[in-house]
Structures are given as structure tokens and as C-alpha cells.
Amino acid sequence: MDELILDLPAAAPPAPPGSRLSYSSLSTYETCGLQYKFRYLDKLPSRPSPILSFGNSLHEALRRWYNQPVPVPPPVEEMLAHLDDVWDESQFPNPAANRSYKDHGRQVLTAFHQANAPSFQIPVALEQRFEIDVEGVKVSGVIDRMDRHPDGTYEIIDYKTNRRLPPLSRIEQDLQLSIYYMAAWEVWGIRPDKLTLYFLLPGQPLSGIRTPQDAVAVRERILRVAEQIRGGNFAPRDNPLCNWCDFQPRCPLWSHQYGPPGDADAGIQPLVDEWIGRKKRMLQDWRRLEEIAPAIHEHCEQNDLQRLFGKGGSVTRFSRAGDTFDPAAVRDALTPDLLDRVLRIDDAAVGDLLAGDLPDEVRARIEQARVERAVWALRLREDRKR
């Protein structure tokens, strides 16, 4: 019997690190390079996330509600039925948590229906996947929703399940919206007139705009991250999300927490505990001082007083205003040798110069003047519930 030989295509080689990115992977890398490596390169498993499952369920329920053949808003009961269909009880630690999250989801969707049913229209895109090429880096993503308004303008909407609203300045700088703006132009030839993050829990949309210049800046940002990934730069970065990271036991920043206790710990642990306790009390005292200071200032203003007396001492009110010098006038007044004695280089100002347009020769000389230094300090990280 003749041997049957199948001419199967060779398996595609794995993509080089940094050649395929998304908003999530870009954001993860910028937050912590080591977390990016653990999640996207080493593909270490993460624990079930009730918050992530909750958000995914709301997203899918809204997608189904908007996915209609005619521009008539389905009743709220249909939206809640979609939530029931997609809800995954296995992602919650116990029945009480499952019930609490689901009840909250029903409340959020009911409020969304009440606010949005009167203006219901069929979106031009729902859960639209895209992939664009940024100088060899494939950037992919999914746009929750894109609307075309009666005046012909386009709006991209992305749902968020954050409990608190961020400042509007953060919307103007949001990386995800910037990527969506760039994708809408490169894939469909559309420049969205409005980009919105719809925060479902408070029921509040926040909107911003982007320009073609913003798209250029995002491309540069993507290429910079891809280059760092290709260079193997996966240093851990202490950040506000560390308390919720799945990879703490593998992170060198948490080695003292998860490593075996050493003989030296017996002597240092009481000092660490004391430092944390004193730092917390100091922060509490400072916050309270900031709270009560305005009342003291107001009383002094109303009664023309500069000092108030209390138990064990007094509080003196004083002004910190003082003279300053006009830099241009000082330069004109001083000879070069005297000017050197008062010249101070501001690192932040030099960094701003490097970020702008400079002649290549000047830029090279400034870069040669860069001096690396480390100044060590202690910082408190309070325990948070995970």
C-alpha cells in the first residue's frame, strides 16, 4: 500500500517580541516591563478576575442590545436578559460575590438604558476588530462602538467600569483613544470628531478630540515601546497597581514578602515595622494639618491676627512671598564669569529641550553631558485589599 504523504505547510515561526502589540500590552509594558514579560512573553496564567468578568459581561450585553436591524431601542428587560445569558458564575469566588456583582451589573445597565434609550441609533460598528501596521509593528485592538451622528460626524465610544471618573486631562491623553483614532483613519479613512470613554458605573461619558499630530506622537510612542521590548528591557517598575498584580511571588520587588525568612530579618523587621507605623502617623498628621489650616487662616484674616495661642505653644501666620529676579535682566547685568556663579541648570527644562526641536550638534553635546546618578530614599506603600 502506498504511503499517504500530506504536504502540510510549515508552522509559522513565532513573531519576534515587540512586533505585535495592542493597547493592553502597550499599557502593561509602560506600567511595568516585567509584568509585560510574565503575561505576554512567558504567558504565565492569571487568576480568575471577578472585576474583569464583570466588565466583559457588561460589554457583551451592551453589544447585543445595540446590535439591532432597526433603530428602535429594545426594552430594558431584553438588555438584562443579555446579561443573564453571558454571565459566568465560575469567575466569582463564592455565591455571595456572584450575586452582589450581578445585582450591581443589573443596576448599571438599567441606568444606562434609561439614559441612552431616548437617543438610540444603530452604530456603524460594534466590537470592531482592527490591525494596523506601524513601521513593521502590528497593532491590533477592538473598538466597542462607533456612531455616525445626524450631522455626519463620527464618535468612537469605549466602555469603562472604573468606579471613579478620571480628570478630563487624562481623557485628552488616553493612549487607547489615540490608537482608535489612528486606526479609524488608517482602516476606514475616517477621522472621528469625538472620542469618548463611557464610565458605566457612574454613568458618565467623558469625551476628547485628537488631531493628525496626535497620531504622529502615538506612532512614535508605539515604536519606542517596541524597541525597548526588542532590546530585552523588562525591568520591574513600582507602580500603584502592584498590589493587584498576579505575579508578585516572581517579582524581585516583592522578594522580601515571598522569599524564605533569613536570619537578618529578625533584626531589621522591627525597624521596618516602626518606620511604616511612624510614616503612616506622619501622613495622617499632615493631612489633618492641611484640613484645619484654612480655618485658622480665615480666623486670622477676619480678626486681624497674626498669632493664635493654644495648649503648649502658638501658631504664627506668615507670608512666604519674596523677591525674585528677572533672568534676562540678570544676564544683561552680569559679566560671563559672574553669571557662571549664579547659573543653575534645571534638569526638567533640559529634558523639555531634548524633547523638542534642537540642532543635531546641540542635542549631541547635551546628551554627552548627561550624568547618571541614583539618590536613594524610602517610600511607603500601604497594604491594599486584592
Enclosing H/E stretch for 126? strand 125-134
CA 83 to CA 27: how far, in whole Å? 28
Is residue 385's pLDDT more than 70?
A: no
pLDDT digits (tens, 9 = 90+) for 346-383: 666 677 777 777 788 877 877 777 777 665 656 666 77
For 52, the grid coordinates are 474583569
Could you say which DSSP state residue 150 is in?
A: T
For 217, the grid coordinates are 506622537
Give residue 7's pLDDT: 55
Among the listed residues 116, 120, 206, 127, the one whose alpha carbon sits nearest the alpha carbon of residue 162? 206
- Total-model pTM: 0.73
Give residue 14's pLDDT: 66
Give residue 1's pLDDT: 42
CA 40 to CA 367: how far, in whole Å? 33
Span 59-72, average pLDDT: 96
- Between 379 and 89, the more confident residue is 89
CA 125 to CA 122: how far, in whole Å? 9
CA 324 to CA 345: how far, in whole Å? 17
- Any alpha helices (H) in the chain, and if so which ranges? 23-31, 33-36, 50-66, 76-86, 95-116, 168-172, 175-188, 212-230, 255-258, 265-303, 327-333, 336-342, 347-355, 360-368
Pairs from 150-153 (Cβ < 8 Å, separation ≥ 24)? 153/193, 153/194
Among the listed residues 385, 88, 42, 38, the one whose alpha carbon sits nearest the alpha carbon of residue 246? 38
Enclosing H/E stretch for 132? strand 125-134
Span 125-145, average pLDDT: 94
Is residue 109's pLDDT more than 50?
A: yes
CA 371 to CA 129: how far, in whole Å? 45
Which residues lie closer than 8 Å to 233 by C-beta, 6 or more apart? 33
Number of CB atoms found within 10 A of residue 198's CB: 19
> What is the percentage of the chain residues whose pLDDT exceeds 90?
59
Greatest extent of the chain over all pairs of C-alpha atoms, in Å: 110
Is residue 30's pLDDT more than 60?
A: yes
231 neighbors 221 (Cβ within 8 angstroms): no
pLDDT digits (tens, 9 = 90+) for 302-314: 999 988 898 988 8
Span 33-56, average pLDDT: 93
Span 325-334, average pLDDT: 72
128 neighbors 142 (Cβ within 8 angstroms): yes
Span 138-161, average pLDDT: 95
pLDDT digits (tens, 9 = 90+) for 45-58: 988 889 999 999 99
Minimum mean pLDDT among 11-20, 103-112, 338-347: which range?
A: 338-347
Give residue 13's pLDDT: 62
pLDDT digits (tens, 9 = 90+) for 223-279: 999 999 999 999 999 988 898 899 999 999 988 888 777 666 777 888 888 999 999
- Between 329 and 155, the more confident residue is 155
Number of CB atoms found within 10 A of residue 378's CB: 8
Strand pairing of 137-148 and 20-22? parallel
